[in-house]
Chain A
Amino acid sequence: EADIYQTPRYLVIGTGKKITLECSQTMGHDKMYWYQQDPGMELHLIHYSYGVNSTEKGDLSSESTVSRIRTEHFPLTLESARPSHTSQYLCASSASAHTEAFFGQGTRLTVV
């Protein structure tokens, strides 16, 4: 069973607010990923990390930022939420490129 957790599961927030989406895993995985899901269920990579203190932007441009201070924790922050940020955000982790990735349950964000 996957030990990767995202909080909150659902969030409704006003425009301009700062928010942090949490992602934690207890599997000791070095690689962690954040994806944004479009309405057609396609997953777009917005951030990834190889390990502590290493973060990279993904293919999809995003106004969010991430940090990786501890192996188990990979939070995503939006400094000023906008309605265009309304989406489902999925976090994943894997031990290596040759092993499967495990996904959290997702955070459904609505910015009003």
Chain B
Amino acid sequence: ILNVEQSPQSLHVQEGDSTNFTCSFPSSNFYALHWYRWETAKSPEALFVMTLNGDEKKKGRISATLNTKEGYSYLYIKGSQPEDSATYLCAFIGAGNMLTFGGGTRLMVKP
């Protein structure tokens, strides 16, 4: 069983705060690391797909970094807004090609 862990499990911040979450995954047999955003009553939607050590991706106020040698990825949100409230999931793909998700970080942004 692949061990994909996310921290923290939940996070409450004020509007305008910047925040970051961590995803840790096996450092061997790495193929890709995905980040998804999951709003209540909707389906998960992809934010980033990262494949190379040192990758940095950015979409608006959200960015992510990847360290495959030590097995972690960070997701950053700059200037959080109430509409950023969601569960953020990372998913690891290794040699088996299974898309294995972490437990998610639930973000709540207070106006």
Contact = CB atoms under 8 A, between A and B. Distances in A.
Interface of A: 2, 31, 33, 35, 40-45, 48, 50, 56, 58-59, 90, 92, 94, 97-106
Interface stretch (B19-27, B30-38, B64-72, B73-81): B30-38
Contacts, number: 62
Interface residues of B, number: 25
Nearest to A105: B43
Contacts of B104: 40-42
Contacts of B99: 31, 33, 45, 48, 92, 94, 97, 101
Interface majority SS on B: helix, strand, loop or mixed?
A: strand
A106 B51 contact: no
Contacts of B106: 41
A92 B100 CA distance: 12
A41 B31 contact: no
B31 A101 contact: no
Interface of B: 1-2, 31-32, 34, 36, 38, 43-46, 49, 51, 87, 89, 91, 93, 97-101, 103-104, 106
28 contacts: A2-B43, A31-B99, A40-B103, A41-B87, A41-B106, A43-B101, A45-B98, A45-B99, A48-B98, A48-B99, A56-B98, A59-B1, A59-B2, A90-B43, A94-B99, A97-B32, A97-B93, A97-B97, A97-B99, A100-B34, A100-B49, A101-B34, A101-B36, A101-B91, A101-B99, A102-B46, A103-B44, A106-B43
